[in-house]
A and B are shown apart, each in its own frame.
Chain A
């Protein structure tokens, strides 16, 4: 789960990294007031859960209070990568003597944290790495051992000396402890600046926390549901399934992510998927009842393709939930179900008794073709 910039900044502050005194504003007027308190000039930054804000017009500097109000109106009226902006961060503009990039990420393939340090801060680090790879110092950090042996060495390799080396290495170490303490997948400061007064201040924070670890970070009070703007996706989260709304009219229920993606790919050949949905491994009768309610809530859904495997999932129980929902809500759209694995015969029987067409062929392609034929008949 990605944190808002201001939430990330608070984690930096807790760890002793210097940050700017900022304020949050929800309206242009409020931004004006906050800017007056903070003192001009200021920088206004959209608080949205995506990267590339500057390019999308989500970051503006302002010299006067009128400019603040105008810029704030523009930002609050904009959408960034499809996300509406509800809140902006107002921060004093600082004179920068030097900018650095500090980041810790997970190198998925290598299976280890990766620390990255560069004296080319304030810009896209991927861009720097492409053009000037020698300016980007990176190192795999042993997860158990930590970054202690490496931080100062990395700063040295980046060409830093004396006081600057010590300061930057210390902040890198602090960032690494945030990364570890909060189970981050990404912990990034871009830029860290040395101000003209010689202070080291983090101007930005990008932190993403591993969803699987949230159970041990309840103290952060991060409510996942409120970060999801799509109401159906939010509901999916609440009932414990992965749901993504798409723009078609054929609903999909799959019992695994791979199978769900494959079903989407195949449905897309002749029809248009209304959603991606995967149940995960905790199917119960009740869960699939709720899943039916979720996928059929989307307006304009005209058909449903069910694709489930009995591995960890008791699919016969799931089938009972599906047909119970159909009975309770008088569902009449064409439905085709492919169900294989443990308890497959029992599952077929339950579906058939309630008028759901069962695919006995082992290929998802055949199942989707069967649904397409049914849909044609309907028209």
Chain B
């Protein structure tokens, strides 16, 4: 089975009554996601796209057995919602919310530290197990069931890479957008570990970009622990220094770290081929696998 999510996973949508929450709930249901409840404090008793809405996460867990939650919660409410969700015993949060204050993210991370929970994001496009279920905003028609695990910092590039893989004959086991913020709850190595263990994943694709050290840390981890083939794509070669490239996490600090060059070098050093342009990923995958 894929990682993190499958067609049986009982999904809760937090912030279900907002504009994005409503629209995306419908897309997720259309895709086959097993959405069992929604939560918006103060809107308990409403029904959105046929899904019952509760005031608290604890109630959604008790009444509907929710086990994973996708966040469309507005940034100022994220911290409280996350604390509540962690306490309610939910095992997976996918945080789609953009622009959550970094200090709130750090506090949530500390709060979740000794709990049995995996949090993806924030600013994540979501998690999708093609053909089964999706939590997030990923357009379903860009993904195809198959045996490649994808870990991406960018949302849109996770779509671009997946549709290109599919066109080249390679579907995906699970695609995870780790989130585009400087601090994310789940770093690349943790997801590499999950894909390494997953019997339905034969190869892992990493999609990286300027800024931070995710790709460098991934390279260290691959060297020590990953036996499955890994290929990568890194973007941002034309980004000017000290300019934030849209994503809060995509900035070259001017100390020579976090550049696409340093990331490519770190990955190459541990035997990971890095594509220079998105569609090239397919050529690199072909070195290891034959198309589905």
Contacts and interface: CB of A to CB of B under 8 A. Distances in A.
What is the predominant secondary structure among interface residues of chain A facing chain B?
mixed
A136 B209 CA distance: 30
B125 A311 contact: yes
A268 to B, nearest CB: 5
B255 A143 contact: no
Contacts of B107: 143-144
Nearest to B162: A362
Contacts of B287: none
Contacts of B214: 109
Contacts of B76: 215-216
Contact of A259 (B160, B164, B244): B160
Nearest to B163: A362
Interface residues of A, number: 58
Given A109-B213, A258-B156, A281 B167 contact: no
B81 to A, nearest CB: 16
A332 interface: no
Interface stretch (B86-94, B137-145, B196-204): B137-145
Contact of A212 (B100, B163, B235): B100
A344 B250 CA distance: 28
Residue of A215, A281, A365 with most chain B CB atoms under a 10 A cut-off: A281
A261 B139 contact: no
Interface stretch (B7-15, B52-60, B177-185): B177-185
Interface in B190-247: 207, 209-210, 212-214, 217, 235-240, 242-247
Contacts of B185: 111
B173 interface: no
Nearest to A180: B103
A311 B157 CA distance: 12
A311 B138 contact: yes
A260 B155 CA distance: 11
Interface in A362-376: 362-366
Interface of B: 20, 24, 27, 75-76, 96, 98-103, 105-107, 109-111, 125, 137-139, 141-142, 152-157, 159-160, 163-164, 167, 180, 182-185, 187, 207, 209-210, 212-214, 217, 235-240, 242-250, 254-255, 276-279
Interface of A: 50-51, 81, 106, 108-109, 111-113, 126, 142-145, 180, 183, 185, 210-213, 215-216, 242, 244, 246, 254-262, 264-266, 268-269, 273, 276, 278, 280-281, 309-312, 340-342, 344, 362-366
26 contacts: A106-B183, A108-B182, A108-B249, A145-B110, A212-B101, A213-B103, A244-B245, A246-B238, A255-B156, A256-B156, A258-B247, A261-B154, A261-B210, A264-B238, A265-B237, A269-B277, A276-B246, A281-B98, A309-B142, A309-B155, A311-B159, A340-B142, A340-B163, A341-B159, A362-B167, A363-B167
